[in-house]
Structure 1
Amino acid sequence: MSKVGIITQARMGSTRLPGKVLRTARGISMLEYHIRRLRASGLPVVIATTRLPEDDAIEQAATQLGVACYRGDGEDVLSRYYETAVQFQLDTIVRVTSDCPLIDGSLIRSAVDQYVTAANPQQYISNGIQRTYPRGLDFEVFSFQLLAEAQHHARSASDREHVTPYIHQNRSGLVEIEQVVRAADASLYRVTLDTVEDFALLKVLLEQYHADTLATDELIRLLEQHPELVAINAATEQKKYDFTT
């Protein structure tokens, strides 16, 4: 039986919004919302943070949340994922990032079930290649075998920082990419946490609309009905690198 686990990367040193994952709404940190939503998948969760002193706060938060934590290299995030997977003996990895407090655990579980049924270690599943879901609900599912290949063969600093380009760009020529696509495109919405404006929107969504209780379709419906909310961070530009490029 394949051992599946979610690895989420978290750190305090965000360039655009330092300490963002420990910012709060309703007295609850963005990291806790994130972990709560992931737990809806029924899968074990591990936080992969760095050995930098500033990330002692992430390890302390993980302990308080009852979540496993691994600390690795601050720059080589690929090696951090690889070492985390080895430490927890994962055969299948779900990769997410902790700046997604409204990520949908049930959506992840559906993709994992699809992956396990396929029983193909060369398969890579994601909802971020052909983007039809709001930014902030992104996930990737792949085998330890593919992660190990990336660890041993990816060379560029960008590949090491962004973890999966070697996989989803099919550098080995053997990867079978499966895309999770929503029938109605909702990719224009942004519920990730990278800027002050992003946090302002999330704070409203969580404090006034209890968005942490909403399934993906309910969240999208809310955004469709309230363009004034969407406008809060509509001008935010995503960082130049996107894992789909």
Structure 2
Amino acid sequence: MTLAVIVQARFGSSRLPGKILNPLGSTTALARVLDRCARIVAADTVIVAVPDSAENDAVAEAAAAAGYAVARGPEDDVLTRYAKAARAVEAETVMRVTSDCPFLDPRVCDQVIALWRETPADYVNNTAPPLFPHGLDCEVFSAGLLYEAEAKATDAAAREHVTPWIRAQAHLTLGNLTGPGDGVERLRWTLDYPEDLAFCQAVYAHLGEERAAVIGWAELAEVCRQHPELTAINAKRHDTLRLARGIRASLQRRWAG
């Protein structure tokens, strides 16, 4: 069964344009994410889903230069872009991640995949409730469900965010890999604001490139605990994060597993 990790990536960002092409050590934030995806044991391939506009050519070129397959599709209809990427690699199973997570943990991704394979769940993620640090988000489901969503989803938000239509189907079983919820959920490791980039670059400077490129989430959480000056860099974004994630969690209808 071919399991494809599909990474959505684009140049545009209202808060930090070109954010994923910024350097973390000797390569781009995008390459850091892709290299972590390549370390997911259960994954057979990694492909980057990039908008087909000229503005995004640099993103496609950076992904290809890092050694990864690229599929191009509509910028706003991310659902169609995902489906095109899945068909390009003949995926039977899809793991969805985003390119703004430079500390994505391959082991957490493997745990999500294992839960999907070992339970009756049709769909599994690790964000409902959001009890991991923000920046480890992933979700897994069959390519068949992706193609069904592509054919049936009509709401603009469902097409932008890929999986809302799947999660709204009452006949499907949804699963969640639960995080520790001991305060680590307040840690912000995603790349969205200039302060987030400064945090990520500070982690690389503090740990050194070799260690930062492969550090797992639990070890990084301990580094953040011991060095609060790091988390202070983007701390003002935490309250906004908690509000947004709390609203998202409250909208989830039910979770199995």
Q: Is the TM value for this pair above 0.5?
A: yes
Q: Which has the higher helix share?
A: 2
Q: Distance in 1 between matches of 2:138 and 2:24?
A: 24
Matched, 1:78 2:60: no
Q: For 1:182-197, list aligned pairs within 5 A.
A: 182-185=179-182, 186-197=184-195
Q: For 1:53-132, list aligned pairs within 5 A.
A: 53-118=54-119, 120=120, 123-132=122-131
The residue matched to 1:95 in structure 2 has which SS?
strand
TM-score of the superposition, structure 2-length normalised?
0.88
* 1:57 counterpart letter in structure 2: A
Q: Which moved more, 1:180-189 or 1:89-98?
A: 180-189
Q: Distance in 2 between matches of 1:68 and 1:192?
A: 23
| Structure 2 gap segments, 5+ residues each | 252-257
* Kept in 2: contact 1:93–1:143 (CA 8 A): yes
Q: Distance in 2 between matches of 1:207 and 1:37?
A: 19
Q: Distance in 2 between matches of 1:133 and 1:126?
A: 11
TM superposition shift of 1:30: 0.3
2:254 alignment counterpart: none
Q: How many residues align?
A: 240
1:21 alignment counterpart: 20
> Percent identity among equivalent residues?
35
The residue matched to 1:213 in structure 2 has which SS?
coil
TM superposition shift of 1:147: 1.2
* Kept in 1: contact 2:33–2:101 (CA 8 A): yes
Q: Distance in 2 between matches of 1:131 and 1:201?
A: 21
* 1:203 counterpart letter in structure 2: Q
1:155 alignment counterpart: 154
TM superposition shift of 1:184: 4.3
* 1:101 counterpart letter in structure 2: P
The residue matched to 1:232 in structure 2 has which SS?
helix
* 1:136 counterpart letter in structure 2: G
Q: Distance in 1 between matches of 2:233 and 2:85?
A: 36
Q: Which moved more, 1:212-221 or 1:193-202?
A: 212-221
Q: Distance in 2 between matches of 1:182 and 1:157?
A: 30
1:209 alignment counterpart: 207
- When the two chains are superposed, the root-mean-square deviation of aligned CA atoms in Å is 1.8
TM-score of the superposition, structure 1-length normalised?
0.92
| Structure 1 gap segments, 5+ residues each | none
The residue matched to 2:225 in structure 1 has which SS?
helix
TM superposition shift of 1:27: 2.4
TM superposition shift of 1:243: 5.9
Q: Distance in 1 between matches of 2:50 and 2:87?
A: 15
Of 193, 196, 199, 1:198 maps to 196
2:10 alignment counterpart: 11
TM superposition shift of 1:49: 0.3
Q: Distance in 2 between matches of 1:187 and 1:142?
A: 24
* 1:27 counterpart letter in structure 2: S
* Kept in 1: contact 2:131–2:178 (CA 8 A): yes
